[in-house]
Amino acid sequence: MKHYEVEILDAKTKDKLCFLDKVEPNATIGEIKSMFHKSHPQWYAARQSIRLDPKGKSLKDEDVLQHLPVGTTATFYFRDLGAQISWVTVFLTEYGGPLLLYLMFYFRVPFIYAPKYDFTTSKHWVVHLACMCHSFHYLKRLLETLFVHRFSHGTMPLRNIFKNCTYYWGFAAWMAYYINHPLYTPPTIYGEQQVRIALIIFLFCQVGNFSIHIALRNLRPPGSKTRKIPYPTKNPFTWIFLLVSCPNYTYELGSWFGFTLMTQCLPVAFFTAVGFIQMTVWAKGKHRSYLKEFRDYPPLRSPILPFVL
């Protein structure tokens, strides 16, 4: 059985960083990363990007050496991805912050509003309902992170957590400040009827979002990175898969639309609009990925909104 010689060069300087002799032909990129880590301990596997071309795409950990377009002396290029942090830690931090921040405004802890309002409660029942809905949403996200989600990538760059937390924490504080403000005015045009309809929309979409996350979890066996086409299950909330590639984003958008209608608060509407733009970008990317990977992908599906977007 022939063996390979593997040299790893710096993608920027082209300097030789490592030479590996007698590498098994069935060795994976993940195993090569482990070998590289032994000679360069500062670059653990998660922060390594190994590629065939200095400006090319990163190879997958499961790619096998003998199946790659290389000779018996294989040359790879290394790029440092920077310090990494696990997705679980990222999500727990992103979602835990808004939960706690919102409750601080809800209970009107000192130094937020005027001293006479410290630890007072709102006279409007919609304020208490909004707090329960907001808390439920982020508690659901935290529990899904711990017990439902299966991540195809174990880590992300550490620097991204500051950007993500600024987004989630900042919007949560902005929304909470106005909704829990002593001078807050609840919906008046349609009043209680508007709030009740909004609550139904919010809860319906929360259940739908959870149902989609369970369906996506069941597509991927534990510990694998297998990708399959998601199809509707017996759960009616998953039937939207007939029309949409990323219904988890569709339901997420619906939840925040319901929360906007419930609170009639401009910061909430702005957060919903920004979230819609970002989720549309993600959904379009995932939709293109599905079309590229699966030739038999259902042609009727749209990325996030049926027949529209």
The Cα 251–Cα 254 span in angstroms is 5
- Asked if residue 242 has pLDDT above 90, the reply is yes
CA atoms of 30 and 143, how far apart (whole Å): 30
Q: What pLDDT is recorded for position 142?
A: 97
Amino acid (one-letter) located at 151 = F
Distance CA 113, CA 213 (A): 38
Residue range 172-204, pLDDT digits in tens: 999 999 999 999 999 987 889 999 999 999 999
Average pLDDT, the chain: 92
Residue 1: band (very low, low, confident or very high) from pLDDT cuts 50, 70, 90: low
Q: pLDDT grade, residue 56 (50/70/90)?
A: confident
Mean pLDDT of 7-35: 90
Smallest CA-to-CA distance from 110 within 96, 120, 102, 99 is with 120
Mean pLDDT along residues 224-245 = 91
For position 73, what pLDDT does the model report?
87
- Measured CA to CA, the distance from residue 107 to residue 101 in angstroms comes to 10
Query: Is it the case that residue 221 has pLDDT exceeding 80?
Result: no
Q: Looking at residues 232-246, what average pLDDT do you find? A: 96
The whole-model pTM stands at 0.87
pLDDT at residue 223 in the model: 67
Q: Which of the given ranges, 46-50, 228-232, 258-262, has the highest pLDDT on average?
A: 258-262
**Cα torsion for 218, 223, 228, 233, to the nearest 10°?**
0
pLDDT reported for residue 206: 98
Two tokens at 4? 């390979």
Asked whether the predicted pLDDT for residue 226 surpasses 80, the reply is no
Give yes or no for a contact between 46 and 156, defined as CB atoms under 8 angstroms apart.
no
**Number of CB atoms found within 10 A of residue 53's CB:** 10
E strand or H helix at 268, and its extent?
helix 266-293
Condensed to tens digits (0 to 9), the pLDDT of residues 70-117 reads 888 889 999 999 889 988 999 999 999 999 999 999 999 999 999 999
